[in-house]
Structure 1
Amino acid sequence: MAATAKQIEILKRCGRPVAHLRAQLKRKRLGLIFGAGVSKDIGFPNWTELVDRLAAHPEVKGVEQLKRYRLENSPAFVLTRSLASVTQLLFGIYRLNKIETQKLSTPLTFFAEQTIKTDWLRLIHHELYSGLTTEERLKKIKNHPYLSSFLEIIKRSPITVNYNFDDTLERMLLLARNDVERESTRGYEVADKPNSQFQKDNSVVYHPNGFLPSTFEDGTSADVIFSDEAFQDQLLSAATGKYVHLSNHLFRNTCLLIGLSLEDPTLQSLLRQNSIANPGNIHYVVHFVPDFGAADSEAMKTLFRQNFSSYGLYTIFLDSAGIKFLATIIAMEDEPFHLNYAQHVQKLVYYLVGSVGSGKSTAASNFRNLITYDEWIDERKPELAKAEEDVDPSAIPDINRWIAEQFRKKNYALQSSKEGIHLVDRAPLDPLTFSAPEERPTKSAALLEQITDNGTREICKGHIIHLECGMEEIRIRNSLKHKYWTDSQYQQLLVRIDEVYGPMVRTTICTRGRDATAVAREIAKVIFLDDYRPVDLEDTLKQVQAGTYAV
């Protein structure tokens, strides 16, 4: 079915995320992270409502205490604490009530403390699931505005992280089993411990804050992260590496966050750590907007910038129908996608260019969650570490053919892929920067012939990112790779790079004084935030061949 006007409008805003997320799903490198906003449509209470229910429970009797923390200008306390702190307060009241009613002697034994914790979890469980029968809840899961659209992604993803306690995702996977699966599997695996080992390589649902299934006895966590004390412990554990599995998941994969307010301190910490240590790995967060047309555009821009700079998050503003469409199009098979939607979603190709030692390969290594192409496909020839004038002239024709073959292989791979965001170390014009101007027409003809297989295949267009670097830093960086050229050779190369790429539309990033992380952060801004401006490299080679290229 052809795209509707609203879908086209969404694709105009989300074309880059769609291209990236579809490619990551195919590579089994896409993960989902769900929050409370997803469970709201099922009928589960939000955190404030759940706290209110707990406070009103006859075994807690904490309503009056809660009021004292919520009344402004109260002579007692003004609410300056988080909901987690209030929950800690309610548990304290509940614990004292238990000690008094059961006439327990203090200090309590470990078993007595554990019994009270279990009863507290049962109380939370009761208030969480109260108000809906099992049949009503299953009906709401089936009729959820967008959740079922994520089913195929969940099935194909390595881990789905769920910050909610409830078992909505598990129920959905259970209902989605086919006849064969019903005989052998639940259709999912649940984990709630930070260092859990998984048996399955997909359909794993991880609850970092704990798990309270609808049947309490069916795998309830030993504890849940619901109080200030528990959150602080979790944050400390994350800082000391206990949550290395979740951290590695964020580091290795591209994640799409749905229904999250980003208030969870552990998630904030993990996202920030990833943003600092792995700035090229951008994740996506859906921010719910009931009516995009009526939303505050300046507020959205501010939120977008904040999420990107602080957490490496690309914010997508959508309503429920938009979230459903996003999930559907990410999981869509190639044929219907290319028939109906591909014309609205760009395949983006970026070429990294610059002097030897400018940091191209190091920068590209920070973007393994894109489709990246190394400098050379085959084993590097040792002569490439030398300036061309220092290489045996008789070896140069063979080296030139070998280099052209590397670009032919990379171009073939680029042309074979119809989607995604691609980052290529070196562009097909790079060989010209190692040659004198009078040699470039002949070299361009040879490159064109070999890369295009005698004109049967086009050279892929792409956005040029030029890494500019000072002489001193080039010298130092090359020495670390055991390359030693003279200053005049470096200067000649810089001049020739400017001659070849200077007339082209390109983005120049100054790498002077910036380490690899800072450079990667600047490249990420170009790839994810700037307009995509591809140039026709094949036409440029033809112009150089004909002697009409303006330098």
Structure 2
Amino acid sequence: MPRSITALEEASKTQSQLPVWLCHMWQRLDRRRLGLILGAGVSIDAGLPTWKDLVERLTTRFPAVKSAFDAHRSAGLQETYITQIAYALHQASIKGAPSALPRQFEQYQVDSTWMELVHQELYRDIESLKYEEILQRHSYLSSLGQLICRTELSVNFNFDDLVDEAAINFARTRNKVQPEVISRPKIETRRDASVIYHINGFLPREKRRRRSESLVFTEDAFADVLISPTLHESDFLMSRFATTTFLLLGTSLNDNSLKNMLRAGMKRNPANHHYIIYWENPASRRSDEERKHIFDVNLDVYNLISIFLETKQIAELVDLLNEEDAGLFEAELVRFSPHPARRKYYLVGSVVAGKSSNLEGLRCFSTFEEWSGRAPEKMYQDHMTLTAAERKEIDEWLYSQLREKNDKMRRAGVGMHVMDRCYLDFCAFSKTDIENVEKLNELRARVCKHSGPLEAGQIIFLEADEHALSDRQARRGKLRGATMVIDYDGASLVKQSATLKSVYKPEPQFTFDNSREGSDKTSRRIARQILLGDYQPFDFEKRIDELLGSGGKV
């Protein structure tokens, strides 16, 4: 029975790239490279309070200073600061009361009773409910538990364990590996187990279950994270923020530690983008202008793509991501999306244009290296200096590689796939038009005949000016002979680039001049064009016909 996607279809009418982002998230999830960051918004539908409401509940425990708390809020003090005041009042009341406990246990009593206080206010509205009743309240809690079991890491900013319980229940009923719930980083976690990391600590709904030793709730706890960037906690997350694509759900960007992590992750891996879902109230949706402001700032500052969804749309998104079969996922997607679910990209450019360096920066997608084997040594020499025998040796090796490249791209599944070098690059290494004709005929006879038509895909064209190309060649040590003449000097590489440009005719928005920037910045620009831009696959077969019709003239 087809799943419901009507709400997602409605969302995609105003967010046209949503299907593209879904494909990317699914691809990352399939490779266990999608993580979750969960905030209080995830638990609200189950009947738990928001962060602000929880703090207000705690402060009402101190009625004698209500006017002071009101004044603090009017003055604009953050909730974490107000909670620090509440904790200090609680600590004073416990330490000031008569107790038979030895003095060395006094602080333990303070923290234990404080956590009991938090537990009471956190679960107050659902205390009498069974978990099955809680699930009935929440439209996607069960599905979220399933999604967690497919991730490597979920960072839960909440104290409650409702999501944990959903994941554990799913794993048990489907005979999956039980997720591992932690409140502090571990050097090594259980093999194949999804990790739920309660970065702020956790208080299980059922009191007798083990809780974390502390709660990162107050101003001093957040401050410790911010001023100690070398803490093991930060290191544990930093590597993942750089290599994992995160989906932020039910959280805002009010947490400075989260914003710092996103920002630092962007610096480490500039092409890696994350997603945040903002809940939309059907009664008061954000305007297009409000959405654009939020989208632009999050993208520029945090590499964060913002999605605006109502509860029903969130439920359908989570459910669709849970589809493990690529074919079924694709079939569901095409019901409401004009975008192809399988998107292929080819990095094209002259020697030292930056193809391999940028491919390394685009590991947030599926990537294919320039060659699968060790290329002949002479292939790295200026083709104008090669003998006929050397050129024949290179061509023999090249056609088998092109067939393998085509096979890989034809088999590529849901998501974005980026390959270094393309099928018609050899035209830039021919001496005559006749040689182009011979190569194109050989390509069809030795590649297309066995592998099928060349797989169409978007051309990503990289270029640089003569000075930059010469400098890169020199830095690579590409000098030969007694006079140390550079292989492929800047001038010849500019001509090579011009020939490739004539072959592929790349779109301006997919042409990247990286003369004055490193691959970190260029790969970020490429990733954004892939995620936010149009997809216009290049028809190689049509272009071959055109080139043959012109007698090989590029």
TM-score by length of 2: 0.90
Return the letter of the residue paired with 1:231: F
Q: Residue 7 and residue 95 in structure 1: after superposition, are their counterparts in 2 closer, same or farther (change >3 A)?
A: closer
107, 110, 126: which is aligned to 1:113? 107
Matches within 5 A, 1:304-319: 304-319=295-310
- Distance of 1:290 and 1:64 partners within structure 2: 32
**CA drift at 1:4:** 5.6
Q: Residue 177 and residue 430 in structure 1: after superposition, are their counterparts in 2 closer, same or farther (change >3 A)?
A: closer
- Distance of 1:236 and 1:196 partners within structure 2: 22
Instruction: Answer whether contact 1:445 1:542 (CA < 8 A) is retained.
Output: no
- Distance of 2:129 and 2:506 partners within structure 1: 67
Q: Residue 413 and residue 435 in structure 1: after superposition, are their counterparts in 2 closer, same or farther (change >3 A)?
A: same
2:47 maps to what in 1?
A: 43
Query: 3-state SS of the aligned residue for 2:454?
Result: coil
**CA drift at 1:147:** 2.3
Return the letter of the residue paired with 1:153: L
Cα deviation digits, residues 167-212 of structure 1 (max 9, x gap): 0112213333546959xx8x32111113453124233211111111
50, 55, 59: which is aligned to 2:59? 55
- Shifted more, 494-503 versus 299-308: the winner is 494-503
1:188 maps to what in 2?
A: 179
1:91 equivalent to 2:82? Answer no
1:75 maps to what in 2?
A: none
Matches within 5 A, 1:309-458: 309-332=300-323, 333-342=325-334, 344=337, 345-346=339-340, 347-438=342-433, 439-454=435-450, 457-458=452-453
1:225 equivalent to 2:226? Answer no
2:158 maps to what in 1?
A: 164
Instruction: Answer whether contact 1:195 1:244 (CA < 8 A) is retained.
Output: no
1:74 maps to what in 2?
A: none
**CA drift at 1:465:** 1.4
- Distance of 2:350 and 2:107 partners within structure 1: 66
1:530 maps to what in 2?
A: 533
Aligned length: 537
- Distance of 1:446 and 1:505 partners within structure 2: 31
1:474 maps to what in 2?
A: 469
Matches within 5 A, 1:200-349: 200-238=191-229, 242-291=233-282, 295-332=286-323, 333-342=325-334, 344=337, 345-346=339-340, 347-349=342-344
TM-score by length of 1: 0.90
78, 82, 86: which is aligned to 2:78? 82
**CA drift at 1:372:** 0.5
Instruction: Answer whether contact 2:356 2:420 (CA < 8 A) is retained.
Output: yes
- Shifted more, 363-372 versus 404-413: the winner is 404-413
Q: Residue 232 and residue 28 in structure 1: after superposition, are their counterparts in 2 closer, same or farther (change >3 A)?
A: same
In structure 2, runs of 5+ residues without a counterpart are: 479-485
Instruction: Answer whether contact 1:95 1:116 (CA < 8 A) is retained.
Output: yes
Return the letter of the residue paired with 1:166: D
Query: 3-state SS of the aligned residue for 2:462?
Result: strand
Instruction: Answer whether contact 2:146 2:166 (CA < 8 A) is retained.
Output: no
In structure 1, runs of 5+ residues without a counterpart are: 72-77
1:68 maps to what in 2?
A: 71
2:21 maps to what in 1?
A: 17
Instruction: Answer whether contact 2:346 2:422 (CA < 8 A) is retained.
Output: yes
Cα deviation digits, residues 121-167 of structure 1 (max 9, x gap): 12111211112235345412344122222333211211111110100
- Distance of 2:73 and 2:198 partners within structure 1: 30
Cα deviation digits, residues 210-231 of structure 1 (max 9, x gap): 1111234422112111111100
Question: What do you get for the CA RMSD once the two structures are aligned?
Answer: 2.7
Instruction: Answer whether contact 1:463 1:506 (CA < 8 A) is retained.
Output: no
Return the letter of the residue paired with 2:512: I
Cα deviation digits, residues 82-113 of structure 1 (max 9, x gap): 111111111111112222223899xx965322
1:32 maps to what in 2?
A: 36
Query: 3-state SS of the aligned residue for 1:194?
Result: coil
- Distance of 2:312 and 2:469 partners within structure 1: 51
Return the letter of the residue paired with 1:424: M
Query: 3-state SS of the aligned residue for 2:47?
Result: coil
- Shifted more, 494-503 versus 436-445: the winner is 494-503
- Shifted more, 170-179 versus 202-211: the winner is 170-179
**CA drift at 1:356:** 1.1
Cα deviation digits, residues 205-260 of structure 1 (max 9, x gap): 11111111123442211211111110010122335564212122222222211111
1:521 maps to what in 2?
A: 524
- Shifted more, 235-244 versus 168-177: the winner is 235-244
Q: Percent identity?
A: 27
1:155 equivalent to 2:158? Answer no
- Distance of 2:391 and 2:231 partners within structure 1: 54
- Distance of 2:145 and 2:174 partners within structure 1: 18
Return the letter of the residue paired with 1:63: K
Instruction: Answer whether contact 1:505 1:533 (CA < 8 A) is retained.
Output: no
**CA drift at 1:442:** 1.7
Cα deviation digits, residues 489-541 of structure 1 (max 9, x gap): 32432332233234767621111210121111211221112222222122112
Q: Residue 61 and residue 379 in structure 1: after superposition, are their counterparts in 2 closer, same or farther (change >3 A)?
A: farther
- Distance of 1:284 and 1:419 partners within structure 2: 18
Instruction: Answer whether contact 1:466 1:508 (CA < 8 A) is retained.
Output: yes
